[in-house]
Amino acid sequence: MNTPHISIEEIFNFFDEITVKAQGIAERFADDNFQGQAWQGTSPWRKLKNGAKDNSFGRKSQGILIGTGRLRRSVRTVKTGRWAFTFASDAPYAQAHNEGFTGNVSVRAHKREQKGIVSVASIKTKKSRNIETGIGTIDVQAHTRKMNLPARQFMPTARRESPVLDLQFQKMIETEFAKLQKKFK
């Protein structure tokens, strides 16, 4: 009876393929958390406070933590090794949003545009209307302020892993091993 033979190189290639597929699953998992506005498998992210400005920077809001999209786009594979990878975010504020933050932060000195309302009259229609406009700048001194960011987790950490992501990895690995077993039958 002929027994199937698999080379070491084929085994290495098999595990390389599994690693690449796992990277894709991990990155899609984090992106799905942004899209669903929740940590998968638990309750939705805490909403913005009433009256709080949205985080859309003058554009229509895309949702919580998606003002410009930088944080969402920053989650990717940053280090790979033989059958191992790390995915992380290079955005400086990612950890504070992912794990939450309470404490004092330093605010640098800056200029703030002072806004005011100016009445503008039309020569043709002789009607006036009020327009909000910048009427000058104010120097703001450096200071500290208290900040309380609630945790809105979008990627797993060592302290808080994701059973949903672990299950996705497990299913993918089982599927790939089943495919490998079919080669030997």
The pLDDT value given to residue 161: 83
Q: Is residue 161 part of a domain?
A: yes
Does residue 141 share a domain with residue 166?
no
Number of domains in the chain: 2
- 2 assigned to some structural domain: no
Asked whether residue 165 is domain-assigned, the answer is yes
At 27-67, the pLDDT tens digits run: 999 988 888 888 886 778 787 776 555 555 555 566 777 77
**Ranges of the chain whose pLDDT falls below 50:** none
Q: How far apart are CA 135 and CA 156, in angstroms?
A: 47
C-alpha 84/C-alpha 183 separation (Å) is 25
Per-residue pLDDT of 142-154, as tens digits, reads: 999 999 888 888 8
Residue 57 to residue 170: CA distance in whole angstroms: 40
What pLDDT shows up at residue 169?
92
Strand pairing class (84-89; 75-81): antiparallel
Q: Is the domain of 31 the same as that of 120?
A: no
* Angle at CA of residue 117, ends 116 and 118, nearest 5°: 120
pTM for the full model?
0.72
Q: Do 30 and 81 belong together in one domain?
A: yes
Residue 136 lies in a domain: yes
**Residue span of the structural domain in which 129 resides:** 104-148
Query: Rounded CA gap, 73 and 62, in Å?
Result: 14
How many CB atoms are located within 10 Å of the residue 64 CB? 19
Q: Is residue 50 part of a domain?
A: yes
Please check whether residues 65 and 135 belong to one and the same domain: no
Residues 21 and 62 in one domain: yes
Same-domain pairing of 83 and 122: no
Residue 19, both tokens: 């690693």
The pLDDT, as a whole number, for residue 54 is: 54
Tell me whether residue 87 is in a domain.
yes
Same domain membership, residue 112 and residue 25: no
Place of tokens 């669903």: 36
Q: What does the pLDDT read at residue 55?
A: 55
